[in-house]
Amino acid sequence: LVDGGIHNAEYVGIECVTGLAKQLQPEDIKGILIMIHIVNVNGFQARTVSVSAEDGKNLNRVFPGNENGTYTDKLAYFMEKEIFSKVDYYIDVHNGDWFEDLTPFIYCVGNAPAETVAEAERMAQAADMPIVAPEETCYTFSMEKKVITAEQYRDWQLIAASLRKKINGERS
């Protein structure tokens, strides 16, 4: 799974997933690849920053969600039950909202079994970005999946090139 738009105003992350999808060829992919360029579509359409327009919640902070909750709770629940539960690897592409000026970096799962953490660190090392110590506080990093989050501020092509190398099984 490669997704963007968890934070709906992180346009470079959205553009990265869209551009990466256009560049990949079927022969480049090993296994099944799911790409979601905008997870929070309603927030994107409403042009809200970091939160869903319907309830003012930050999608990245409500996982695993609630099937009986608000719009954002239900979206998180759907992602957890229908998407996250079916993937082995997850690349979550962010870039900072319009008010954040970030230096590109990548971080990976830190609170999972040792073999999962090691594989996530290997994924992170395959990208051409500085690696921050393994993260243990974000929900996606407690899923026991091989997860990395890439943060990039302005150049979607830079991060897409790094992710393409990972998807193609190349080493940077």
94-121: pLDDT as tens digits: 876 655 666 777 777 777 788 888 888 8
**Is the confidence at residue 78, as pLDDT, over 90?**
yes
CB 95 within 8 A of CB 102: yes
Angular region, 32: left φ>0, alpha ψ -120 to 50, beta rest: beta
Q: What is the token pair recorded at 24?
A: 């990949």
The CA-CA-CA angle for residues 67, 13, 128, to 5°, reads 125
Q: For 141-161, write each residue's pLDDT tens digit.
A: 455 666 767 666 555 556 666
Mean pLDDT calculated for residue range 9-32: 87
Q: For residue 74, give both structure tokens.
A: 């239900």
